[in-house]
Structure 1
Amino acid sequence: MAVPAAMMALTACMPQSIEKSDKPTLATPVDHAIYWQAVETEKGTQQTAISSRLPEDSLIDTKITYDLPALVDLALHANPETRISWEEAKAAAARLERNRSTWYPTLTAMAFGQYFKNSFPIPGSALITNGYSSFGSLDLAWTLFDFGRREALVDAGTQRLTAANFAFNRKHQEIAYRVASSFFAYQAVLAKVTAAQQTLNAAGASTDSVKAKLDKGLATRPDLLLAIQEQAKASYDLQDARGSVIQTQADLTTNLGISPSYSLQLINLSKLPLPAGLVQSVEKIVDQALEQRPDLMARLAELRAREAEVKKARAEFFPKISLKGMIGNQYWGSVHTNPPGNESYTASNLVNTTMLNVEWTLFDGFERTNAVHEAEARKEASKAQIDAFRLEIMRDIWKAYADTKTTLEKREFALALLKAAEESYEATQESYTHGFSTVIELLSAQKDLARARYTEIDSRASLLQSAATLVYASGGQSRGDFNTDSDAFGRSLRQ
């Protein structure tokens, strides 16, 4: 059996295991629409700026027919939200690199020059010195030991880079899900326009049939007025359905990240394959989601980052040992003294120092103690948030699973209802033609057929929507996790 197109599109966004990279800036994706797997890429391929032109100008092809995977791919390239998450991931990588820079020494070049004139009082007069001087030096500062401060800082940055990685993947899943949902809604509205047109055609045929009978004296004028009334109502329903097309199209293009002015050719809703049943149990889906759902993994990474912050706060109680050095040259030129003798001289002097510094804050008004308490409280809060989020994930999956099972059953009943309504309408129409049924019975069968058509359309769209919601709530597992078959229809949750 075929897997729903919604699942095929959403499952492409699976997060992979994250490897710690020595070069985090190379772990960011080279494009905001590429699923970031935190692996190294070649230098020179990384984009550093976003073009000012609209992305859809070169992405949209109005000559092809888009299926759901193609729409998702378009959204991942055109939707501004993907670029936002992409830049945030790059910023997290840059922050980690900044944290790692604390392991290296700093080298500072300094230079200055001046004209000076000094006067010192001496008996009977003053000693005046004037001239030019300059000084240039290289200053070195290197923290040798800080008892875990830098290590904790880098660990926190690494975990937040991992969190940004997972958030990036989840954003792709979110956009894919929103595109799928709006696509199903749009296609359902188009199908309802077709169904409304069929109902209007049937209402027109019924009106013509009543007119023909009225001309022969076999029908009454009230019968004709009832038929005309139903035809007018069918025209109203058709226009109402057409108005909904514009609204749902705007929702779809917004989720795609393109202008509503674009007119895309899309596949018909009836061509989308539907699942025949659920193979996996809800318990297994929940277990898989708790293992790999990207936003949950991001929260776990944030917890580890806060644990690293606790270590850094505790390390502040220990001293820091650093090495400092300076080498430079002091120069004096055209120095004149008066008195005695108005002599002039030039001098140069090499200056260098080396120091081993130990810095240890002994008392700070309990600032460090409270910093530890704050970091520990944030860590505990993060743990509680993860527990609450796990419950939320389980709730969403159970609801989506139940909705999918319900829509599977409703789909079968909707098909049976449509078949029965079609047969009933055909039989009533034939019976009315031969004078065995009244116009009220004919119009009633026509209404039932219109409702059955809408019900069938809603059942198809609801099934696709609930299946996509289940995949999204579970974190976008692999396609094999959601294989469907006809024997699994109506299967209980006891698997």
Structure 2
Amino acid sequence: MTGTPTVSPAPDKPWAADGQSAGDFSVKGPDGAFEPTNALQSGKVLTLEELIDIGQRNHPATRVAWQQARQAAEAVGMVEGTYLPIITANVIGGYQDLVTPVTGLNGDTDYIRTNSQGVVPNIALQWLLFDFGERQAWRDAAQRTAYAANVNFNGTHQALIYNISRSYFNYGAAQQDLAIARRALQNSLELQEAADGRYASGLGTTIETAQAKQLVAQSKFRLVAAEDGLSSAYQDLMGSIGVSPRSKLRIASSAGRRLPRARSLPTEKVIEQALARRPDVLASYAALQASEANVEAADAAFRPKVYLGAVAAANNGRIQTGTLPGADFQNTTSGVVVGMSIPIYDGRIRERRRNQAEAAKAAAAATHELTINTARSEIVVAANTLQSALSSYEAARELNIAADTTYEAAFEAFRNGLGTLTDVSTAKAGLLDSELAQVDAHAASLVAASTLAFALGNMTSRTAPAKATN
């Protein structure tokens, strides 16, 4: 026996197979190690890396997956225990009253009462010596299931890191949307002030002042919507971390995050390497192997079993017959037997159990194939999405530069009496749309980069997009 498979030492630590390295999920913030509870209460501005560390230590999903891995490891130990003998200590005590009719010489019937009582302590041994592969098959199935549970535990961490990253980038976009809405309101107020000034000097009209007030009202409406969007994004972030929705955390902005460079579509070699490390693919393959071992165990149930039995007992008692003096007795017994049992008929239970195992094997094979196909599709789609998001960001950035120039020129012309409020309003709407488009494209690119890393099986906190230095 090789021993019970190991599990991760803690819910926030990665699992690694014997002799292999699993890397490290935990990435600390710029201030080094910290306790999540202190970080939640300190009021400091938390980076993505620190949020991931908090999530890994607090989210119930990691503890659930860890406990499931421990259960699977204990199941292996239970199967391995069947290779060892079972020793039991037993104590049997009893009392017997026997009445025997006796016919006398004169034909009368008399009755003789015999009483006996005793205590028999014994030690018994049961040991299954050979079962022609049944226990080995159960053991292989349990080990594969334990491996799948450990891989799923690491996969849970990767999914947690991805969800936190996605929520963090979306929250960052909501922060920037709110900042844009506030700037838009300020610009609308400045435009209203200019319109009122033109009207007071006799250069403007009531239509212009009404349009300016309408722009202010629209900006206030967008501000309310942006505040609501930020609140929703914050709750989504708290949920992904696994902390109370009432928590008041200060979150660092993602506006300075550098975007990855555009890459070509993954080659077949890259996809194959990703499939070899994706937790869902590894777990589905382990489940297939476990189902194959279950079929072998079902086949072995049709074969004979050889067992060893032994017993050592002591008998202490007393017997009393009629009016004769009672007699105490004491003896010991020991014995060893070797036997073999051959199953002949059990109402087709073993046959149906084997059919059930075969069906489970076929389902596991189909699930593994489906998992591989889904993974391939996710990798290609994620790569395409990242390319599209990066192209959208570049287009939005160029659009924003042009829209900003247009708005500044239109506003300056209106202030000097050379333009109309309609021109300014149109330019302002174009600038607002371009700013929101650039923010959304930036966040979408970061999320797409995280999605591709997750699809490739590389989603650890250190693979998150780096922070820009500009």
TM-score, normalised to structure 2, is 0.90
Within-5 A mapping of 1:72-151:
72-123=52-103, 124-151=109-136
Partner of 1:417 in structure 2?
399
Query: Residue type matched to 1:324 in 2?
Result: G
Deviation at 1:265, TM superposition (A): 1.6
Q: Secondary structure at the match of 1:292?
A: coil
CA distance in structure 1 between the partners assigned to 2:431 and 2:464 by the alignment: 34
Unpaired runs of 5+ residues, structure 2, are: 20-34, 104-108
CA contact (8 A) 1:21 1:39 kept: no
Unpaired runs of 5+ residues, structure 1, are: 1-19, 41-54, 485-495
Give the number of the structure with larger relative contact order, counting CA–CA contacts within 8 Å between residues 6 or more apart. 1
Task: Give the RMSD, CA atoms, in angstroms.
Answer: 2.2
Query: Residue type matched to 1:295 in 2?
Result: D
Deviation at 1:481, TM superposition (A): 9.4
Deviation at 1:283, TM superposition (A): 3.2
CA distance in structure 2 between the partners assigned to 1:476 and 1:38 by the alignment: 17
CA distance in structure 2 between the partners assigned to 1:144 and 1:457 by the alignment: 70
CA distance in structure 2 between the partners assigned to 1:61 and 1:481 by the alignment: 27
Within-5 A mapping of 1:221-300:
221-278=206-263, 281-300=266-285
Is 1:315 the counterpart of 2:295? The answer is no
Q: Secondary structure at the match of 2:49?
A: helix
Within-5 A mapping of 1:166-185:
166-185=151-170
CA contact (8 A) 2:258 2:465 kept: no
Query: Residue type matched to 1:459 in 2?
Result: A
1:242-272 Cα shifts (integer Å, max 9, x gaps)? 0122211111111111111111121112122
1:460 to 442, 448, 453: 442
CA distance in structure 2 between the partners assigned to 1:430 and 1:279 by the alignment: 44
Partner of 1:435 in structure 2?
417
Partner of 1:216 in structure 2?
201
1:271-294 Cα shifts (integer Å, max 9, x gaps)? 222112226735343222211101
CA distance in structure 2 between the partners assigned to 1:37 and 1:422 by the alignment: 53
Moved more, 187-196 or 346-355: 346-355
2:343 to 361, 373, 379: 361
Partner of 2:320 in structure 1?
336
CA contact (8 A) 1:156 1:305 kept: yes
Within-5 A mapping of 1:174-213:
174-213=159-198
Query: Residue type matched to 1:301 in 2?
Result: A
CA contact (8 A) 2:259 2:465 kept: no
CA distance in structure 1 between the partners assigned to 2:459 and 2:363 by the alignment: 29
Within-5 A mapping of 1:371-390:
371-390=353-372
TM-score, normalised to structure 1, is 0.86
Partner of 2:428 in structure 1?
446
CA contact (8 A) 2:185 2:220 kept: yes
Deviation at 1:65, TM superposition (A): 2.0
CA contact (8 A) 1:279 1:482 kept: no
Moved more, 363-372 or 83-92: 363-372
Deviation at 1:29, TM superposition (A): 1.6
Aligned residues: 446
1:143-193 Cα shifts (integer Å, max 9, x gaps)? 011000110010000000001011111111111111111111111111100
2:15 to 13, 36, 59: 36
1:209-260 Cα shifts (integer Å, max 9, x gaps)? 0111111001001100000000011011101110122211111111111111
Q: Secondary structure at the match of 2:127?
A: strand
1:278-327 Cα shifts (integer Å, max 9, x gaps)? 26735343222211101110010011111111111111221000001111
CA contact (8 A) 2:49 2:461 kept: no
